[in-house]
Amino acid sequence: MKTRFLSALLLLMFSPVGQALACSFCYGAKDGKSTEHMAVAIWFLFGAVMSVLGGIGAFSFHLWRHGRMPAEPHQEITEEDLSRYE
């Protein structure tokens, strides 16, 4: 009984019937309007993600570049002899 149940379950899981019941959108019809709209949405979201990553990269480059620049004379921290104030 277990063998029959397992074989029926495996046959049901791996049968191509699921593809035959899929709609044109799920199956990936090349001519469908919904497929074209989904492609546009994917490209838009790809562009949005890349623009955010590009902004993070540009900001990191900005921090790296300004971190390597020497400080202005009025911004330098100097070692001062504080013993005269004691």
In a domain, 15, yes or no: no
In a domain, 3, yes or no: no
In a domain, 80, yes or no: no
Cα–Cα–Cα angle for 14, 19, 20, rounded to 5 degrees: 115
Cα–Cα distance, 30 to 39 (Å, whole number): 11
Question: pLDDT (tens digit, 9 = 90+) per residue, 5-55?
Answer: 888 877 777 766 555 566 666 666 667 777 788 889 999 999 999 999 999
The burial class, CB within 10 Å (0-12 / 13-18 / 19+), for 58 is: exposed
Question: pLDDT (tens digit, 9 = 90+) per residue, 49-82?
Answer: 999 999 999 999 999 999 888 877 776 676 677 7
Domain holding 47, by residue range, is: 25-70
| Number of domains making up the chain | 1
End-to-end CA, the chain: 94
In a domain, 5, yes or no: no
In a domain, 32, yes or no: yes
